Amino acid sequence: MKKLLTLALLFVLGLAAVAQTPNGKNDKAAKEVEALERLRFEAQVKKDYPFLEKAFADDLVYTHSNGKQNNKTEYIQSIRDGKSVYDKIEVENINVRAYNNGKAAVVNGQIIIYQPNKPDGSPNVAHIKYVVVQVKNKQGWQVVLWQSQKQAS
């Protein structure tokens, strides 16, 4: 009986170890994605086009807080053309949940976007809640979906 109990305990511990493996991958992925999110915001401010080209998937759907949608090419071009201008992006909070053995991640959070002053000289600040979906493929982590909504300041 004692031997059977020991074997059962070892079996359960073995299952627990196997079950933790994907969580470990998911935890690692969540940390990677959070760091990349912060770097992407920085790249949007600095107009780091090579970084943005890599960070956004070719099939990106980028929905601005006003409802306008862009694909990857349109969105990056909007930064080049000065239609999307970011003086500073400040992360208020960020939550990353990774799935599928660390191959997909859903991010939600809140940011403050500082843009050039309005024509009357008043500050142009947007408080944004957002959701991002990232996938890990042969190019690395890439944003496939961005959805945002303005919040009352």
Convert the pLDDT of each residue in 43-95 to its tens digit. 999 999 999 999 999 999 999 999 999 999 999 999 999 999 999 999 999 99
> Tokens 């959701």 identify what position?
131
39-73 as b/e: b if 16+ CB within 10 A: ebbebbbeebeebbebbbbeebbbbbbeeeebebe
Q: For position 24, what pLDDT does the model report?
A: 86
pTM over 0.85: no
Mean pLDDT lowest among 9-13, 32-36, 52-56, 144-148: 9-13
Residue 6 has pLDDT above 50, yes or no: no
pLDDT in tens, 15-52: 444 444 457 899 999 999 999 999 999 999 999 999 99
